[in-house]
């Protein structure tokens, strides 16, 4: 058994998502780009490459990673580019999407050699978290005024519109796409391509894939555009676990379990949104609060039910530990960074990355 903690990517589960993405591509004509802000573990890019069309990014580092490690189409986006990085961004991208008209105009000459686009903000989203809502009041994410966008259409060929967040509801997606059409139809008719962003959970087990594909195809035909999707979580959902070992047990009004990991350091997105981790099957008569080993009082994975009393040395596996998790891991408290392992399709395991004291030391100064 590998030394915990480690992230375990199961290729057989990853394959299920890839096959669903491939089916949507085939039925709808849409292209699919991996959103690196969600998942950037490049050791499985060679596996994902056969099912996707490229990557989309949110920074210079991500666009370079996508270009060098994934290949195929490389879309660059950032809320704002700095003068010192724009030339390198352009060198790694075949499309660059600007967040504002101001950035588009500022970097007009530097970006003239590649395809350019602009982010639009339709003013509606599916997010239930204000923190993640791209359409929140006074949002900086994209342009919304047709009168300002129309005069710069000769500088761009397409748009990125990202307003879905963990959206499992096709009817809501359909309704919001209708809102986009109603608001931006004059601009869409002048475009050659439109990215609808990520946050659409179309690889979920019960998602109506045929209806989704038909809607995308209809949108594409109505406006004569190539549609892009940017699946992040949808690409890797349920594919990865965080494997941990129980180090201690306590009782303080509740049964407490301490593992050799930390939600602050290794599953930070759950802490930010105050959500519990997931264990499976989460059934049984023995309830315990599972806690991380950092000194943060709220370093708690959640309360779970186990079939047997949890003891020191037991293994606990946390589900869905890929999206917005591996990319956010950090060295808080100097807690050991999880290794990264892959379970191949034949069931064999291999470790692709381990972290040691030198990595911790060199992350500082």
CATH number at residue 297: 2.40.37.10
Residue corresponding to tokens 């201690």? 248
269 known ligand binder: yes
Q: Is residue 215 domain-shared with residue 294, that is, in the same domain?
A: no
Q: Could you give the number of structural domains in the chain?
A: 2
Average the pLDDT over 79-99 and give the result: 98
Q: Is residue 123 domain-shared with residue 160, that is, in the same domain?
A: yes
- Pairing label, strands 339-343, 349-353: antiparallel
96: in domain: yes
Question: Looking at residue 239, what DSSP letter applies?
Answer: S
Q: Is residue 194 domain-shared with residue 262, that is, in the same domain?
A: no
Q: Is residue 256 domain-shared with residue 292, that is, in the same domain?
A: yes
CATH number at residue 134: 3.20.20.10
Q: Is residue 246 domain-shared with residue 106, that is, in the same domain?
A: no
Q: Is residue 210 domain-shared with residue 260, that is, in the same domain?
A: no
State residue 45's pLDDT score. 98
Average the pLDDT over 328-337 and give the result: 97
Residue 310 confidence class, pLDDT cut points 50, 70, 90: very high
Within 8 A by CB and 6+ apart from 327, the residues are 36, 37, 38, 39, 40
Torsion of CA 67, 70, 75, 77, to 10 degrees: -80
Strands (E), 216-267: 226-229, 240-251, 255-259
Q: Is residue 60 domain-shared with residue 132, that is, in the same domain?
A: yes
pLDDT digits (tens, 9 = 90+) for 182-205: 999 999 999 999 999 999 999 999
Q: Is residue 264 domain-shared with residue 203, that is, in the same domain?
A: no
Q: Is residue 256 domain-shared with residue 220, that is, in the same domain?
A: no
91: in domain: yes
Q: Which of 183, 202, 235 is the last residue of a domain?
A: 235
Q: Is residue 144 domain-shared with residue 293, that is, in the same domain?
A: no
State residue 69's pLDDT score. 98
pLDDT exceeds cutoff 90 at 294: yes
349: in domain: yes
6: in domain: no
Average the pLDDT over 77-83 and give the result: 98
Range of the domain at 136: 12-235
Average the pLDDT over 85-114 and give the result: 98
pLDDT digits (tens, 9 = 90+) for 221-250: 999 999 999 999 999 999 999 999 999 999
pTM for this structure?
0.96
State residue 128's pLDDT score. 87
């Amino acid at each position: 058994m590998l030394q915990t903690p480690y992230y375990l990517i199961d290729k057989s589960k990853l394959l299920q998502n890839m096959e669903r993405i491939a089916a949507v591509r085939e039925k709808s004509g849409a292209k699919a780009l991996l959103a690196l802000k969600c998942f950037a573990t490049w050791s499985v890019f060679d596996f994902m490459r056969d099912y996707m069309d490229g990557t989309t990014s949110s920074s210079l580092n991500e666009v370079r990673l996508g270009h060098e490690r994934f290949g195929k189409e490389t879309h660059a986006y950032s809320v704002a580019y700095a003068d010192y990085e724009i030339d390198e961004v352009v060198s790694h991208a075949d499309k660059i999407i600007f967040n504002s008209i101001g950035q588009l105009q500022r970097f007009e000459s530097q970006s003239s050699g590649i395809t350019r686009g602009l982010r639009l903000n339709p003013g509606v989203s599916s997010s239930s978290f204000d923190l993640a809502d791209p359409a929140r009041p006074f949002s900086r994410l994209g342009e919304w005024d047709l009168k300002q966008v129309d005069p710069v259409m000769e500088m761009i060929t397409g748009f990125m519109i990202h307003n879905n967040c963990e959206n499992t509801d096709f009817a809501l997606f359909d309704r919001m796409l209708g809102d986009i059409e109603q608001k931006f139809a004059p601009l869409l008719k002048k475009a050659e391509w439109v990215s609808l962003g990520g946050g659409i959970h179309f690889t979920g087990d019960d998602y109506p894939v045929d209806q989704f594909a038909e809607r995308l195809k209809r949108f594409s035909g109505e406006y004569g555009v190539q549609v892009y999707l940017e699946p992040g979580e949808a690409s890797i959902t349920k594919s990865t676990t965080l494997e941990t070992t129980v180090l201690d047990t306590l009782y303080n009004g509740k049964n407490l379990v301490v593992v050799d990991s930390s939600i602050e350091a290794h599953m930070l997105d759950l802490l930010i949104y105050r959500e519990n981790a997931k264990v499976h099957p989460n059934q049984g008569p023995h309830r315990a609060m599972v806690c991380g080993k950092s000194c943060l009082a709220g370093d708690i994975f959640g309360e779970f039910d186990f079939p047997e009393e949890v003891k020191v040395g037991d293994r606990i596996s946390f589900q869905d530990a890929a999206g917005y998790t591996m990319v956010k891991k950090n060295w808080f408290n100097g807690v050991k960074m999880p290794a990264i392992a892959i379970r191949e399709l034949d069931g064999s395991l291999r470790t692709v990355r381990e972290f040691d004291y030198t990595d911790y030391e060199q992350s500082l100064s």
